[in-house]
Chains A and B, each alone.
Chain A
């Protein structure tokens, strides 16, 4: 059953990911990406990472992609004029991709116990929100502070770059 769900979600996810690349209209691409991320959240659920899955839907599919759509609408981007695909880019890209997939598959099949199903979890009733929260605010306190600074810098940057008139 889990395998079936895995297949459904992953095939859908890859399909929508492919559509992002193929679609000419940016709005269609963005909507495909939303679907792709929702399927990805489904994959997280099959991995028992429910909190992460919810966050994925909220932050990515909800916030980030809305930002994308918002910008696309704001700039009133039309369907892309079909530009001639550079053959060199195509083959170069294909070569890079093949190399990457080869290295990745080689790395995967050499991992030990890679084709075994997941072990049973015994969480003892602690929800993963609690576990992640404790980890985040205790052990990972320092990176968390730095991430706070990152958000601050990003805010300054966005305000600076897009405010109409600087004071």
Chain B
């Protein structure tokens, strides 16, 4: 099967859902969510039958679209994230609708599902993008979809403000990115990454200032997507204000696809050792600052969603640490594995956060007090999730940290490793704060009256599957590792 069909099928399906949704106002909107889940799952299974030799270079690909193992791996990854996000969105729909001016009780939630599908297609294109033009358009598709999704709860001020902040900073990042691409194009005369790599091999060092200028701007644009240092300050506000499924999508899917882009750009630059050493130095600087920034600012947080936002900055730092150690040769698999681990644990954390937030009406950490008594299963799942985020053994997060740090040590990034250890120490502090809230602290008065948290069956199945895979891959990482090229 031609790999290009994956995105085509997904986009057409999303469009179909949108049409049916527009012309059939009687069908419950929940059905569209499940239809989207089914469609995404089908596309996920389609990825196992793709054959990149079927690609016709003349038919509009022209070096835009790569279907190598890395791309396919990340397409699967993103599809899985989307399935989780869709299930979360179905669970979240009543909360979403509360903030919308609607005629019927569940109107307005249907658009959410098709937007998730469009964003998913955009991320899949990002994973395949091999040309700066393609990178630009696919990144913009994802970003613009997220602008809408973040501001979706339009009766809620927090959501709108998050939308505005995200929009303005995102637009700045876009213009930096575009300006950088313009400079790279002007200096090298091409926007294709493999060709850039070939040209860079034998380039005059007088061009370095303009290349560094261009790449620097492009990295600034990418760092917005991965939530790294110079462009990390939108993260806490946007994460807190956005609807929880969107936050989860933003923190995992968007970050993962941006990392593929980063890896591809870095790969094309590696052919010139002098240039790449300069860029890698810059990158390790950014990684160090990001780790410190994320971890230190997470410590005083009292809102769980905000805490997860800062922790996601910190994780971006560890991932960048892996990217900065790309000379060690095995940091690609390390990053991929780390992202997988991050997917499982972060989705689990947001999954529990969503239901707790839905039943208590707030994401504050105080509302997790006594959860261990009230609903022990949810508490166990959340414990597993934060332990995995902290990188404790026998959870999947441990092997993520293990691979990242071993590749950083191999690349002789000792200062970065030291900063990483410091960050992990801080990390333990704030992740344990969550566990403390659930198990040590008694529930407050108003809490103990409210009935135990109810969750729908499919949602519970999703949480259980995530928890089980978190432990299984924490003990036996080979299945994931074998997927990675």
| Contacts from A to B (Cβ < 8 Å) | 103-104, 106-108, 110-112, 138-143, 145-147, 149-150, 152-154, 156-157, 160-161, 164-167
User: Given the complex of chains A and B, what is the CA–CA distance between A165 and B212 in angstroms?
Assistant: 50
Q: Is B151 an interface residue (CB 8 A)?
A: yes
Among A108, A141, A160, chain B packs the most CB atoms within 10 A around the CB of A160
Q: Chain A residues near B213: list those with CB within 8 A.
A: 103-104, 106-107
Pick the contact of A156 from B111, B210, B212 — CB < 8 Å?
A: B111
Q: How far is the CB of A95 from chain B (nearest CB, A)?
A: 13
User: Given the complex of chains A and B, what is the CA–CA distance between A15 and B30 in angstroms?
Assistant: 54
Q: Do the beta carbons of B133 and A111 come within 8 Å of each other?
A: no
Interface string of B450-485 (1 = CB under 8 A from A): 000000000000000000000000000000000000
Q: Do the beta carbons of A143 and B207 come within 8 Å of each other?
A: no
User: Given the complex of chains A and B, what is the CA–CA distance between A166 and B93 in angstroms?
Assistant: 14
Q: Chain A residues near B140: list those with CB within 8 A.
A: 150
User: Given the complex of chains A and B, what is the CA–CA distance between A111 and B189 in angstroms?
Assistant: 13
Q: Is B445 an interface residue (CB 8 A)?
A: no
For this complex, 17 residue pairs linking A to B, each with C-beta atoms less than 8 Å apart, are: A103-B213, A103-B216, A107-B183, A107-B214, A110-B206, A110-B207, A110-B209, A111-B186, A138-B60, A142-B60, A142-B64, A143-B137, A146-B125, A146-B138, A147-B137, A149-B118, A152-B118
Q: Contacts A142-B65, A164-B101 hold; do A107 and B209 have CB atoms under 8 A apart?
A: yes
| Chain B residue nearest in CB terms to A139 | B62
Q: Which of B33-41, B142-150, B292-300, B353-361 has 4 or more CB atoms under 8 Å from chain A? A: B142-150
Q: Do the beta carbons of A160 and B152 come within 8 Å of each other?
A: yes
User: Which residues in window 93-112 of B have CB below 8 A to A?
Assistant: 100-104, 107-108, 111
Q: Is B336 an interface residue (CB 8 A)?
A: no
| Chain B residue nearest in CB terms to A148 | B11
User: Given the complex of chains A and B, what is the CA–CA distance between A9 and B137 in angstroms?
Assistant: 31
Q: Contacts A107-B210, A110-B207, A156-B115 hold; do A166 and B108 have CB atoms under 8 A apart?
A: yes
| Chain A residue nearest in CB terms to B64 | A142
User: Which residues in window 193-252 of B have CB below 8 A to A?
Assistant: 204, 206-210, 212-214, 216
Q: Do the beta carbons of B114 and A156 come within 8 Å of each other?
A: yes
Interface of A is mostly: helix
Which of the four size classes fits the interface of chain B? Answer: 35 or more
User: Given the complex of chains A and B, what is the CA–CA distance between A150 and B174 in angstroms?
Assistant: 14
Q: How far is the CB of A113 from chain B (nearest CB, A)?
A: 11
Q: Do the beta carbons of B100 and A166 come within 8 Å of each other?
A: yes
Q: Chain B residues near A145: list those with CB within 8 A.
A: 60
Q: How far is the CB of A40 from chain B (nearest CB, A)?
A: 14
Q: Chain A residues near B25: list those with CB within 8 A.
A: 167
Q: Chain A residues near B104: list those with CB within 8 A.
A: 167
Q: Chain B residues near A142: list those with CB within 8 A.
A: 60-62, 64-65, 134
Q: Do the beta carbons of B11 and A149 come within 8 Å of each other?
A: yes
| Chain A residue nearest in CB terms to B65 | A142
| Chain B residue nearest in CB terms to A110 | B209
Q: Chain A residues near B101: list those with CB within 8 A.
A: 164-166
Q: Do the beta carbons of A157 and B60 come within 8 Å of each other?
A: no
Q: Do the beta carbons of A157 and B148 come within 8 Å of each other?
A: yes
Q: Do the beta carbons of A156 and B148 come within 8 Å of each other?
A: yes
Q: Do the beta carbons of B133 and A140 come within 8 Å of each other?
A: yes
Q: Chain A residues near B394: list those with CB within 8 A.
A: none
Q: Do the beta carbons of A112 and B148 come within 8 Å of each other?
A: no
15 further A-B contacts with Cβ under 8 Å, apart from A107-B214, A141-B59, A167-B107, are: A110-B207, A111-B187, A112-B204, A139-B62, A146-B125, A150-B137, A150-B144, A153-B144, A153-B145, A157-B147, A160-B111, A161-B154, A166-B107, A167-B25, A167-B102
Q: Chain A residues near B107: list those with CB within 8 A.
A: 166-167
Q: Which 4 A-B pairs have the closest CB atoms?
A: A157-B148, A141-B60, A166-B108, A107-B210
Q: Do the beta carbons of B134 and A143 come within 8 Å of each other?
A: yes
Q: Chain A residues near B108: list those with CB within 8 A.
A: 160, 166
Q: Chain A residues near B137: list those with CB within 8 A.
A: 143, 146-147, 150
Q: Chain B residues near A106: list those with CB within 8 A.
A: 209, 213
User: Given the complex of chains A and B, what is the CA–CA distance between A40 and B59 in angstroms?
Assistant: 35
